Amino acid sequence: MLFMLGQKLLRDVTTGLLQYSISPIVPNPAEWGEYEPTSVDGGDGNWYHIMTSEVGETTPGVIEYWFECTDNNDESGWHSEQWEDEFGNLLEPYEIVFLAPGEDDHRSYRCKMRDSITHYETGWSEVLETYPY
């Protein structure tokens, strides 16, 4: 028999062993957040593609986020905490900025999430093309 010790741990009363309570990541598949893929003028002579994922929830681990351009090999790698991108922007793990080749260059992107402990992944989000801001 199991009983709860908070939200993440269960204790088996017959063996005394602790177990993680694993819940699936929501939303699944991943969804776009406040900023769907968007082209913006950086004011520095460059255009950028910016986007955010919906913030995910799970137990027992921390959510990691991955962004990918479906038109080429641009990808973010997994991020689970604040990080500084190659342009010097301090980003949350659910945010990404890609350099766009030009003002009229539109690319398509998708994102997904995973649990940092179990490595259980969500399905890919809807693929969306950047649009001008």
Residue-wise pLDDT for 20-61, tens only, equals 556 788 999 999 999 999 999 988 999 999 999 999 987 667
Residue 9 maps to a domain: no
Number of structural domains in the chain? 1
pTM: 0.79
CATH of the domain at 75: 2.60.40.10
Confidence of residue 123 (pLDDT cuts 50, 70, 90): very high
The residue segments making up the domain with residue 60 are: 23-132
> What per-residue confidence (pLDDT) applies to 70?
95
Residue 108 maps to a domain: yes
* pLDDT tens string 74-111: 999 999 998 888 888 899 999 999 998 887 888 999 99
> What per-residue confidence (pLDDT) applies to 62?
86
Buried-state track 49-76, b at ≥16 Cβ within 10 A, e below 16: bbbbbbebebbbbebbbbbbbeeeeeeb
Place of tokens 């939303």: 27
Residue 2 maps to a domain: no
Residue 91 maps to a domain: yes
CB atoms within 10 A of CB 25: 23
Residue 28 maps to a domain: yes
> What per-residue confidence (pLDDT) applies to 85?
86
Residue 4 maps to a domain: no
Residue 57 maps to a domain: yes
Residues 1-18 have a mean pLDDT of: 50
Residue 15 maps to a domain: no
Q: Of 60-64, 67-71, 85-89, where does the model show the most confidence?
A: 67-71
